[in-house]
Amino acid sequence: MDKFRMIFQFFQSNQESFMNGICGIMALASTQMYSAFDFNCPCLPHYNLAYGLGILLVPPFILFLLGFVLNNNVSMLAEECRRPRGRRGKDPAVLRYMFCSMAQRAMIAPVVWVSVTLLDGKCITCAFCTSVPVETLGNASHPRLSHGEIQRILARIPCKEIYNGQQVIANEVAVRYLRCISQALGWCFVLLMTTLAFLVRSLRPCFSQAAFLKSRYWSHYIDIERKLFDETCAEHARSFAKVCIQQFFEGMNTDLVAAGCHLPRKAPADTGEAAEKLLGITDQGTMNMALKSWHRCKPPLQLYPPALPTGNGWAGEGQPPTHPSAPQRETAAYYSWV
């Protein structure tokens, strides 16, 4: 548990580490998915190719999209793309940087899937078993077998239990041949991807380092600004709700006093804090009425109704409600009842 928490904290400590963590988890998930998947070649002439290539190419596409979905920054990028200019210009370099870094991370899990698939060999064996060069590897001199028959026999290569073409071509020879090709393709693919990654990383300092520093700073800034804005709004909402509810209870109290239902609130000779928290509601009937009123008739989202003429003239002290100003309104409201 402690170990997990420490690893979790390390990855949360900064945004990039977090994204790298998700990336790594998806790559592991990809290998796990492959080993858990029960590959079943259909062993029929036209279906083999579709099945084999489908398993090779469709899950990577899904993993790629999943990589985007799980990335929090996608919505940030979309927002930044679509917002109106207003008083702040939009920098296409920053948008490109954000998109590129997201795409690079999302590419890792699909690349892992394709590599593992090719190195394992089952997909290519299934997809291309009908294209094995029978002339060189086996015994093609079977005049009584038509092309279609040979195709059907070859299609059964991946399914050893039902293979009936030992005299045409030995099963082990064909499987070894196909697996060799598949593994060669796999290693070449991994080499190509690694070389690309290396070039992308190492050519950047040679060409556009200043622009890169700028884009990185501003994309980080946009992310932080969005988070801070959310936090400020949450803080504001909390204060707003607190004052609103406070006013509701005060309102109830006033109504009850006005209707003569119970005595006005005792003077603060009582245990001050406890009395304040009770907000003037001290018996079952009043509480039930408060709860009913809360359900039937919620108060409006307006903390200081504008320009109500009252005796002591403090009506306009606070700011008008439903507007995202700083959360100092709470203090002002408490003053009003002192």
Partner 1 sequence: MDRFRMVFQYFQSNSESVMNGICGLLALASVKMYTSFDFSCPCLPQYNMAYGLGVMFVPPVILFLCGLILNRQSLVMLEEWKRPAGRRKKDLAVIRYMCSSIMQRAMVAPVVWIIVTLLDGKCLICAFSGSMDPEKFVGFTNVSTGQVQQLLAKVPCKDDELMRNNTSRRAVSRYLRCWSQALGWSILLILIIAAFLARWLRPCFNQATLLQAHHWSNYIDIEQKIFEETCCEHSRLFAHKCILHFFESMQKEIKLHSFSLRREGEEAEGEENLLRGITDQDQVNKLLKMWYYEKPPLDVSQAHQR
Minimum distance of partner 1 from residue 317's CB (angstroms): 6
128-167 binders of partner 1 (CB under 8 A): 137
CA distance 280 to 252: 9
Report in angstroms how near the CB of residue 119 gets to partner 1 at its nearest.
Answer: 7
How near is the Cβ of 194 to partner 1 at its closest, in Å? 5
From the list 57, 68, 72, 120, which residue makes contact with partner 1 (rule: CB under 8 A)?
120
Residue with tokens 């930044």: 80
With CB under 8 A as the contact rule, the residue among 225, 255, 270, 283 that binds partner 1 is 225
Using alpha carbons, select from 104, 110, 109 the residue that is nearest to residue 27.
109
Nearer of residues 66 and 181 to partner 1, judged by Cβ: 181
The token pair at 209 is 């380092």
SS3 state at 216: helix
CA dist 230 and 21 (Å) reads 24
Which residue is listed with tokens 């005299």? 167
Tell me how far apart the alpha carbons of residues 256 and 249 are, in angstroms, rounded to a whole number: 11
Q: Is 266 in the site for partner 1 (CB under 8 A)?
A: no
CB of 216 to partner 1, least distance (A): 8
85 is a contact residue toward partner 1 (CB under 8 A):
no
Q: In angstroms, rounded to a whole number, what is the distance separating the alpha carbons of residues 222 and 90? A: 11
Does position 324 bind partner 1 by CB under 8 A?
yes
For residues 211 and 91, is the Cβ–Cβ distance under 8 A?
no
CB of 201 to partner 1, least distance (A): 6
Among 32, 75, 146, 328, binds partner 1 (CB under 8 A): 328
> Looking only at Cα atoms, what is the longest distance across the chain?
113
Query: In the block, which residue shows the tokens 């079977």?
Result: 142
Applying CB under 8 A, the residues found at the interface with partner 1 are 2-3, 6, 10, 14, 119-121, 137, 170, 172-173, 176-177, 179-180, 183-184, 187-188, 190-191, 194-195, 197-198, 201-202, 205-206, 209-210, 213-214, 217, 220-221, 224-225, 228-229, 232, 306-307, 316-320, 323-326, 328
